[in-house]
Structure 1
C-alpha cells in the first residue's frame, strides 16, 4: 500500500516546494492539495466538518495547479494530486490544458481527485446549482478526457459544448477507459478518482468515467470495498485496475494494517495546515508508517 500526504495549502502554511522535497526524501508516495476558488461570507451552507465555524484555511487555499507545479519542479518521483478538485466550478477547456501541461512537464506524475462540491454559495457564484453540480461535473470531466485523448476532440452535452478542436500537449499517461463494446482500452489521460460515499450513484459515476474511488471517511470500508469491486465488475470495469485511496487519515498501526488487508491502494495521511515546524513534527510522528 502506498502512503501519501495531503495538506490544506494556504498563504500561511508551509510552502508546497519545500514540503514536496521533504516528502520525497522520506519516501512518501504523493502530495495532494485541495481547492476552493473562494468562500462566500454568507455562510448559508453549513461547514462539512461539523464545526460551528468553517476553518479559516478554506478561504485561503492556493490554486492547486500552481502549488503542484512548484512541487513538481523540485522532485522527481513524488506523484502530484488534487484532493479535492471541483470540476463544476472550473471552465473545462482551460482546466484540461493546465492538467495536460502539468502532466507533460512532470513526466506523467499527476492525478486528479475530484468531487461534486458541498458549498451551495460557492457553486452558485460559478453559475451552478446544487441540483446541477453532478451533471455539470460529469460533462466537464468527460470533455476534458476527450481533449486529453483525441487527436480531434469534441463534446456535446447539456452543460458543455466543444466544437471539433485540437489541443496539445497531451498527458504523458494512459488510463483504461470503457471502449463502448463492453471492454476497456488504453487512452491518453490522467487518472481521475472520485470522492464520495459508497452508493450506487457514486459507483456509477466511477464506472462511467473514473479511475478510482476516494471514500469519504474510513468507516465502513470492510463492507464498502467488496461492494465497490462488485459494482465495477458488473459494469465491465476491471476492479484491479481501479484504485482505492483513503484520504486525510490519522494513522495508527491497526488502521493501516486493516486498510492494506482490505486492498486499499493508497492511504493519504493528513498534515496540518501550518508552518514548517508543525508539519515536520507531524511527519516525525508518522515515521513508523512511512516507507523510509
Structure 2
C-alpha cells in the first residue's frame, strides 16, 4: 500500500520545497494539496467538518504553484491536488496548468477534483450550486479535448473550444483503448448515486474524505462502474485526509485499496517531522 500525504500549505506553514524533499527522502508516495481561492467572511454554508473553520482554509497556497516547486526538487514523489475546484477555473487555462505540471514532473501528477462545498466562494466565481456538477463534467470534457493527441473541438452546455494545437500534453500513460485523456483523475465527494455515475463516466476513481463506510459504499460504486462498461480492475479508490492506525490500514488493504493519503498538520517543521516519524511505521 502506498502512503501519500496531504497538508494545508499556507503563508504561515513550511515551504513545499522543504516538505517535498523530506517526504521523498523518507519514502512517502506523494503530496496532495487542497485548494481554496479565498474564504468569504460572510458565510452561511456550514463547514463539512464543523465550525469554526480552521484558519488555514483562508490562507492556502495555490496548489499548482506549490506542487511545481515540490516537483522541481524531487524525482519520484507523486504530486496531486486534493482537490481542484474545477468549476471555479477557466477550463482552457486550467488544462494548460495541469498539462504543464504533469509534463514537467514526468507524469507524476494526479488530478484530484471535486465540486466544492462553499457556496459563497463559488458564487464569487460566478458558479451557482445547482449547476456545479454538470459544469464540472462539461469542463472536464473540454479539457480532455485539449489534451487529445490530435486537434479536437468541444461544444458543451457550458463552454466550447475550437480544434487547435495545445501543448504540452500530459504524459501519464493510459491502457490501450482507454477513451479518457489526461492525467489520472480522482473525484472527491460524499458517496451517492450522482457522484458514482460521474466517477464511472469520466474519472479513474474516487477520493473519499476520511474513508469511513467503505465496506458499504464500495460495492455500490463497483456496480455502477461495471454497468458503465469500465474495466473492473481499473477502478481506484484513494481514501483522503486519513488519520492512520494499523487496523484502519489493514481494513483498507482487505478492501483492495492500494493508496491512502494521510493527514499532516499545518504546523512548523518540528511538528511535521514528529508526525512523519510517527507515520514511518506504516511505510
**Shared fold, TM over 0.5:** yes
**Structure 1 counterpart of 2:279, from 267, 283, 286:** 286
Q: Aligned partners of 2:130 and 2:252: how far apart in 1? A: 33
Q: How far is the alpha carbon of 1:43 from its aligned partner? A: 1.6
Aligned residue for 1:37, secondary structure, equals coil
Judge conservation of contact 1:173–1:188 (CA < 8 Å) in 2.
no
Indicate the RMSD between aligned Cα atoms, in angstroms: 1.4
Superposition TM-score, scaled by structure 1 size: 0.94
Aligned residue for 2:49, secondary structure, equals coil
Within a 5 Å distance, the mapping from 1:130-141 to structure 2 comes to 130-141=129-140
Within a 5 Å distance, the mapping from 1:90-129 to structure 2 comes to 90-129=89-128
Judge conservation of contact 2:209–2:241 (CA < 8 Å) in 1.
no
Q: Residues 248-289 of structure 1: CA distance to partner in whole angstroms, max 9, x if unpaired?
A: 111111001000110112110000011111111111111111
Q: Aligned partners of 1:239 and 1:8: how far apart in 2? A: 33
Q: Residues 24-70 of structure 1: CA distance to partner in whole angstroms, max 9, x if unpaired?
A: 1111111000010111111221222212x211111101000000001
Indicate the residue corresponding to 1:15 in structure 2: 15
Q: How far is the alpha carbon of 1:173 from its aligned partner? A: 1.3
Q: Aligned partners of 1:136 and 1:175: how far apart in 2? A: 25
Q: Aligned partners of 1:198 and 1:187: how far apart in 2? A: 23
Q: How many residues align?
A: 283
Within a 5 Å distance, the mapping from 1:1-292 to structure 2 comes to 1-51=1-51, 53-175=52-174, 184-185=177-178, 188-290=181-283
Q: Residues 110-141 of structure 1: CA distance to partner in whole angstroms, max 9, x if unpaired?
A: 01111100011011111110111111111111
Q: How far is the alpha carbon of 1:190 from its aligned partner? A: 0.4
Q: How far is the alpha carbon of 1:188 from its aligned partner? A: 4.2
In structure 1, stretches of 5+ residues that fail to align are: 178-183
Bigger strand fraction: 1
Aligned residue for 2:163, secondary structure, equals strand
In structure 2, stretches of 5+ residues that fail to align are: none
Kindly report structure 1 stretches of 4+ aligned residues shifted beyond 6 Å: none
Aligned residue for 1:48, secondary structure, equals coil
